[in-house]
Structure 1
Amino acid sequence: MDILIFIYNIFLIVLYTVVVTSSILNYSHKKRPLFAVTAALFLSYIFDNVIIYMTEFLEDFSTLYDLQFMTVPAFKTLIYLVSSYCLVTIQRLVLPGRQTVRDSAALILLGLALLFAPMAGGGALKVWLYYLPAQIFTFYLGTSGLLYLSQYPESLDREMVSYKTLLGVTVIFSVLILIEDTIVIFSFDVYSNPMVKINNRSLSEDIMSIIYSIYAIKYLTRQLRLPRLDVGDAGTIFQETPPPSVQIPPDQEDADTAFLHFANHYQLTSREQDILKILLTDKNNQEISDTLYISIGTVKTHIHNIFQKVNVTKRSQLLRIYYVYKKEMPWK
């Protein structure tokens, strides 16, 4: 049994490490905040799993950790806060049109709950009350994201279409984790003084993180295959030679060649291409909304996604990069 647990822990650590490495590689190429936050999230998973692994194999460490957990669960609190902040940030980056005030308020409430829960009562109830806020928080994050997407389905970028599935997974597993915690804490953990023995691993939580990992690896691998384009301080464009799969045949080289290459290089969706065409004519958000018959909120969301992909923060920067790209013709 010990061998199986050992192999299982190694599997989790390797899986999380693959995600972290892929995220760092993507961030070093494209500087998108989403990749940095993803790396931070899975780093917190690695640290958490290493500690849990140590409690399963080192008896003295397990006893010391469990006793400290009953008084000041500092490490677990830090892990929860870091991972929760990363989840909120990822949701803000993927769904930029959402109001984030409630997310920030929920994160603050989670932090306060984790700080004050250890002061409430003792024994099994105290531990259960400590874990409860984290599951309520993830349930809120998943349901709020799903509700937003039900109202604005077009706000989700094509390359992130599976994010809706992940939100559903988050909602389901937040409930399953709570059920598992309730059973384990009140039926299997030992809280008799002076002996304390806590099962620090949640299988439901592990399964959820494995699903996160599989999705992240698929997405990050796909991003690594895309060509890279860097814009220097002087506005000069340096581009790696694009692979044959993204090169446009010579017979398509017409008046729209620059636009097509630009959109292809940055993997702009068809809707983002429509909006970019109008942006290039110096139209404002309301005019874009009227032209495409979509809400201003949707326009802002797609413009934000374009900014992220091109790695800019202003329209003027986007236009400058586009016209330099058009002038230099780096695909030739």
Structure 2
Amino acid sequence: MQEIFVYIYNIAFIILYLWVINVSSYAYKATNNSIFYYVELLYVVLIIDSTFAFSFDLLRTANSGLNVYGRTYYFARILFFLIGGDLYVKIVAKMLMQKQKLLFYIPIIVVAVLDIGHVLFFYGDIHTVVWQRSIQDAGILMLCLLYACKLHKNQQLANQEYYSRAVLITGIFMFLSCIEGIIYFSLSSLNNLSFNKLLSYMKIIGFNEDLFSLVMSFLVIWFAKHEELRADKMHLEVLVQHKMNQYQAMIHEKEVANEEDQVVAFCDYYKMTKRESEILRLVLKGKKNQEIADELYISVGTVKSHIYSIFKKLAIDRRSQLMHVFMEYKEK
């Protein structure tokens, strides 16, 4: 019965982890936030670790006389923890918007050293699995405390509220997992047969650790979907703004083209020469004589001569009247 429970229990978590990987992958593509990339990798490691662990659990429960927990098993679990710990550090560094620092690796390194020492010198201890789990949870708890200390110095971070809550939840569950380990060792030292069934399940399952995995997985799924929707909304807004800018540019081009056509027609109507037409366009734009001369590479005197000719054809004597005549022509 226990092996069936262990099988279903672990399969359910693997399915949940696959869901988290899928959602994190989409969120990373939408937001380009590398936190989701490292979360994705972390859950891949969790799947490998869980599959490895529960395969050995099934072997043990299927044959209670078989000793499957050899040194290779424990060293493999330590390796998975080191890889996962490195990803934890990368996630924390990204949340703090900093580079990975040696300080954040210290809890992971200390845990690995303690685990290796325990396996080397206490090999054959039936409580090694619980010891590994408890000491590793203590390492993650220390990592959470380091995050809290660093956050206190820099409180202007993106998504600070979400990350702080996630770290707080992680810290609480890791603390409870350590307490669970203490309870396990306390009960096992009593040699009370009434606790044997409970202890057998506590050895296979870290209840607080697995409850944390459940809660955190759903929080990651919610946060990933929230960020993906926010990124999609921002992308849509940028796209809409781009389309609006294109539309306004098109309208402006049409207005400029229409204005140019009207100027051409105006010049044709009053029989302007090519040079007079060029100068007329610049005068309508508010250009001064010197500016017109510089743009057309002619002298100011030549500009004045052409403007005089334009005024004569339009029967006016001031620039303000030129605009008035042009506007009257447009309204015809």
- SS for the counterpart of 2:204 is coil
- Which residue of structure 1 lines up, in the alignment, with residue 101 of structure 2? 100
Structure richer in helix, relative to its length? 2
- Which residue of structure 2 lines up, in the alignment, with residue 181 of structure 1? 181
Say if 1:33 and 1:227 are closer, same or farther in 2 by CA, change over 3 A.
closer
Runs of 4+ with >6 A deviation: 249-253
Structure 1 letter corresponding to 2:149: L
1:219 maps onto 2:220 in alignment: no
- Which residue of structure 1 lines up, in the alignment, with residue 147 of structure 2? 145
Quote how far apart the aligned CAs of 1:109 are: 2.6
**Cα distance between partner residues in 2 of 1:245 and 1:252:** 10
- Which residue of structure 2 lines up, in the alignment, with residue 135 of structure 1? 137
**Where do residues 126-275 of structure 1 align in structure 2 (5 Å cutoff)?**
129-154=131-156, 156-158=157-159, 160-185=160-185, 187=187, 199-227=203-231, 242-243=235-236, 247=240
Quote how far apart the aligned CAs of 1:61 are: 7.4
- Which residue of structure 1 lines up, in the alignment, with residue 18 of structure 2? 17
Quote how far apart the aligned CAs of 1:146 are: 1.6
- Which residue of structure 2 lines up, in the alignment, with residue 49 of structure 1? 50
Quote how far apart the aligned CAs of 1:30 are: 5.2
**Cα distance between partner residues in 2 of 1:129 and 1:51:** 18
Quote how far apart the aligned CAs of 1:178 are: 1.4
**Cα distance between partner residues in 1 of 2:234 and 2:216:** 32
Quote how far apart the aligned CAs of 1:39 are: 0.9
Contact 1:118 1:130 (C-alpha < 8 Å) held by counterparts: no
Matched residues, percent identical?
Answer: 19
Q: Provide the TM-score with structure 2 as the length reference.
A: 0.58
Structure 2 letter corresponding to 1:215: L
Tell me the C-alpha RMSD between the 2 structures. 3.8
Q: Provide the TM-score with structure 1 as the length reference.
A: 0.58
Quote how far apart the aligned CAs of 1:62 are: 7.5
Structure 2 letter corresponding to 1:116: G
Say if 1:81 and 1:241 are closer, same or farther in 2 by CA, change over 3 A.
closer
Say if 1:30 and 1:173 are closer, same or farther in 2 by CA, change over 3 A.
closer
Contact 1:26 1:35 (C-alpha < 8 Å) held by counterparts: yes
Quote how far apart the aligned CAs of 1:77 are: 0.8
Aligned length: 234
Q: 1:212-264: CA deviations, max 9, x gaps?
A: 21121112112333557xxxxxxxxxxx99447984699999xxxxxxxxxxx
Contact 2:107 2:140 (C-alpha < 8 Å) held by counterparts: no
Q: 1:154-200: CA deviations, max 9, x gaps?
A: 2x313x5211112112221222111212333553599xxxxxx7823
Quote how far apart the aligned CAs of 1:88 are: 0.8
- SS for the counterpart of 1:24 is helix
Gaps of 5+ in 2: 192-199, 247-332
Contact 1:55 1:61 (C-alpha < 8 Å) held by counterparts: no
Contact 1:132 1:178 (C-alpha < 8 Å) held by counterparts: yes
Q: 1:42-81: CA deviations, max 9, x gaps?
A: 1122223223433454435786574315x75122112211
Higher relative contact order (CA 8 A, sep 6+): 1
